[in-house]
Chains A and B, each alone.
Chain A
Amino acid sequence: MLSFCIYGCNSNKGTAEKLDMNQIISENSQQPELEISEESLNSIIQSLPSPLEIASLIKGSGVPFNESLLNKTDKLENYTTDFEKSLAMGVYSGNLGYINVYEKSFLAIKYLTAIKGIADDLKIGQFFDFETIKRLSSNSDKIDSLIYLSTLNFEKMDQFLRGQSRSNLSVLMVTGTWLESLYLATQVVKTKKNDKLIERIAEQKMVLDQVMLILYAYKNEDFFSVIIDNMKELKSEFDKVTIIYNYREPSTKEVNGRLVIVDNSSTEVKITDEQVASITSTIEKIRAKIIDSSYN
């Protein structure tokens, strides 16, 4: 098995070699056994898109909030190991993003309580300012502050885990969050076709490559190998999607003291309705295993 450290292993602060995501991902897809450095792992975890972005796109599509899409908070007893809890926490965090974007404060407290419970079990509850968040969630005028504080708290929990050499739990959390965001997007598209959402779903092909890479970092752990096997199924569906990148030189202009970038590059996505349906059903299967803790 070939394994070596990719970039920055002995880097000093301020002089770290640059991590080339494209190269890391490209090499991984050719050599799945490749191991990545802690620095690369941390960099990828940090780079994954926020669930708020897809939630915002869903809301922008005009589709009403649908509580039945969310993972029920009475499933907490299903999650017994730290690995299962971490994945579930990621799922609930994806749900919380959806709830907050739709400003459904009556549900926020329920999901915050579930997240706090799991965080305490994982010994990271101290970073979750539950009382302040609970107070903010009961005031619809404070939604921006709620989103800000929630996001910050999740960042702190993630950083703490990585600092404590518990990156494996961080990896599972961000995997759970990303999968849940994709699940929500695909379920919405199932009921009402939306080109922008479909495009965003297709673009997750790029993110999936990164998620696979960080999961592979722990492939020798049984739990991770089960998750990886499930994600390989999803990858085989996304492999049928084509994304074309067209580069054009950007320009900038100053507007009221702010530098505004005019990007002329573009990405073009090719995905069929059948491919969307296959991706949707694969995600449904994987997600069902995660929320019911039935991985075998």
Chain B
Amino acid sequence: MKIIRIFLWLVFATVPFSVFGQCQTDEFLDNCASKLEDYTFIKAFNTDLPKAGSEEYSYVFSKGSSYLIIVCDQNINGNRMVVNLYDRNRKLIASSFNPKTKTYYPDLLYPCTATGVYYLEASIAGAKGGCGVTILGFMKSE
């Protein structure tokens, strides 16, 4: 029994949280997507990292459309997901984290005025990694 307890402790202490696929369920995705409000769903980018790091996605944003980028993670302190938006030349447009105010924004709204390829970088800083979903929605700008 003691050996089993030690084994289980070792498993939960060392296996990254993300292995348990917390963010891969339909329920998690549906809950995140529900925050789109009046925006039309385009895509969901799943991020699941076994250690600190980032993943990048790209999408062609079109002038005249407003894009809502929802940052949906497990909301664990010290292990939040941050999404950065870059333009075609990889210049940072905005980040969901403001280091000065330590604010994590749940979403970014981007009314696009220049059509082109844009990059979304989802990163998790915690040493044990983590997971999240970046939801992209659009609405035609008036």
Contact = CB atoms under 8 A, between A and B. Distances in A.
B65 A53 contact: yes
Contacts of A14: 49-55, 129
Given A14-B54, A206-B115, A196 B64 contact: yes
A247 B96 CA distance: 22
A275 B40 CA distance: 32
Interface string B39-65: 011111000011111111111101111
Given A14-B54, A46-B57, A53-B65, A22 B89 contact: yes
A252 B103 CA distance: 14
B109 A260 contact: yes
B117 A206 contact: yes
B108 A261 contact: yes
**Is chain A's interface secondary structure helix, strand, loop, or mixed overall?**
mixed
B109 A267 contact: no
B131 to A, nearest CB: 12
Interface centre among A43, A247, A262, A263, by most chain B C-beta atoms within 10 angstroms, is A263
Interface in A42-59: 43-44, 46-50, 52-53, 56-57
Interface in A221-265: 243, 245-247, 250, 252, 254-255, 257-265
A180 interface: no
Contacts of B110: 261, 263
A13 B50 contact: yes
Contacts of A151: 41-43
Interface in B84-103: 85, 87-91, 93-94, 96, 98
A84 interface: no
A144 interface: yes
A191 interface: no
B50 to A, nearest CB: 7
A177 B140 CA distance: 20
Contacts of A207: 60
B72 interface: no
Contact of A19 (B33, B41, B52, B56): B56
Contacts of B116: 206, 245, 267
A247 B114 CA distance: 9
B53 A46 contact: no
A263 to B, nearest CB: 5
Contacts of A20: 90
Contacts of B129: 14
Contacts of A152: 29, 41, 44
A267 B115 contact: yes
B113 interface: yes
Nearest to B59: A47
Given A14-B49, A245-B116, A261 B138 contact: no
B63 A266 contact: yes
Interface in B21-48: 29, 33, 40-44
Given A56-B65, A56-B138, 4 more contacts: A21-B58, A47-B117, A50-B43, A206-B115
12 contacts: A14-B129, A19-B58, A47-B59, A53-B42, A56-B40, A57-B64, A210-B117, A245-B88, A245-B116, A247-B89, A257-B105, A261-B109
Interface of A: 13-16, 18-22, 43-44, 46-50, 52-53, 56-57, 60, 144, 147-148, 151-152, 155, 196, 199-200, 203, 206-207, 210, 243, 245-247, 250, 252, 254-255, 257-267
